[in-house]
Amino acid sequence: MGEALKLPQKRFHRQRPISPDLYNWHKHYPAHFNEDGSPSSDLKKVEIADVGCGFGGLLSSLSPLFPNQLILGMEIRDSVEEYVEKKINVLREQKPGEYQNISVIRSNAMKFLVHFFEKGQLSKIFFLFPDPHFKKRKHKARIITPQLLASYAYVLNPSHGKLYIATDVHPLYLWMTKYLDLNPLFERLDNESDEVKNDVCVQCSIRDTEEGKKVERNAGSKWWAVYKRVEVSGGEWTGFDPIVYQSEKDDGKEEDDGEDEEGDEVEPEETQESVAPPEKE
């Protein structure tokens, strides 16, 4: 008799790798990784991530600007991820040797980001024109929250990592900057500083995405900011202590009729506990 048939093992069919060092990047970057997943060039790890990459406009813009860095777009929608993958393959065929440093993956970055990237691995991470989730009961689904900032700080390099945000929704801009400003692991850069003015990623982030182009066609406004990752006192990141931001409690003090802008009933706000680092000494 032949060998008994075995059921498939779940660990080989999960939405995310068990750990970053076990993921095989050959499918995404065949010019830089062998079929067994071992590196075949000097580019060994993803250094730039576009979370919620949409239709890949930023990826194709950054590719020639950072030819010596691997860039990954993360998209949760199946059809959109499929489109970006086809787009990259066509660009590679049209211009052999180019666009080999960009790829896209379907994944929920809010849940699985740390499964793909090691501590301090990324030099840049982008959150451009994300879903604003207008209803108050959906605010917890926004891509920038106190809890999620812990993951973003973990994967960003503490010496030179940068986080970019952009949106055409002003209330969302205020929301994102509020929590980033409150977190001592991030420091906002002055938009008028030479460091920001000379940063090629700034114009790409507000100009080259499909959403950014749509806003320009409609003569809309854009709000953006750049934050750098900073180290906590002592020079070593030691983890996060749970705290509750007082400003989070104050947000709901002026609630009146229990309805949001669209007339839907709003669920009572719960106190939002966050995971944030201890304050600097």
Q: Which residues are catalytic?
A: 131
In the chain, what are the helix, strand and coil shares in percent, each to the nearest 5? 35, 20, 50
Strand, coil or helix: 241: strand
Between CA 243 and CA 9 the distance in angstroms is: 39
Between CA 28 and CA 173 the distance in angstroms is: 32
Q: How far is CA 216 from CA 132, 159, 220, 221, 281, in A?
A: 18, 34, 6, 8, 44
Longest dimension (CA), the chain: 75
Q: Strands 223-229 and 162-167, how do they pair?
A: antiparallel
Cβ(148)–Cβ(110) under 8 Å?
Answer: yes
Q: How far is CA 98 from CA 26, 42, 62, 101, 253, in A?
A: 16, 16, 12, 8, 54
Cβ(244)–Cβ(272) under 8 Å?
Answer: yes
